[in-house]
């Protein structure tokens, strides 16, 4: 008999960077195995910062 699906996913180990071994945050549709620091990429925060408009 198969265990429930949620039990399977709860027992999986945390995702780790293949180069440095740090724990990576799980992301939907993310298949990368190297962290941002090791890949040399830049992470931009998801959101918008409002810039005030000077009065006329």
Q: What residue segments make up the domains of the chain, in order of their start? A: 1-41
Using an 8 Å Cβ cutoff, are 24 and 35 in contact? yes
Q: What is the mean pLDDT of residues 2-16?
A: 88
Q: Whole-prediction pTM value?
A: 0.54
Q: Dump pLDDT digits (tens) for 10-55.
A: 888 888 999 999 998 877 777 888 888 888 877 776 777 778 888 8
Contact between residue 7 and residue 14 where contact means Cβ atoms under 8 Å apart: no
**Coil/strand/helix, residue 38:** helix
């Amino acid at each position: 008999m198969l265990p429930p699906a949620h039990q399977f996913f709860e027992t999986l180990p945390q995702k780790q960077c293949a180069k440095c071994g740090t724990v990576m945050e799980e992301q939907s549709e993310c298949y990368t195995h190297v962290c941002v620091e090791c890949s040399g990429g830049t992470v931009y925060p998801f959101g918008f910062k409002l810039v005030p408009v000077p009065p006329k």
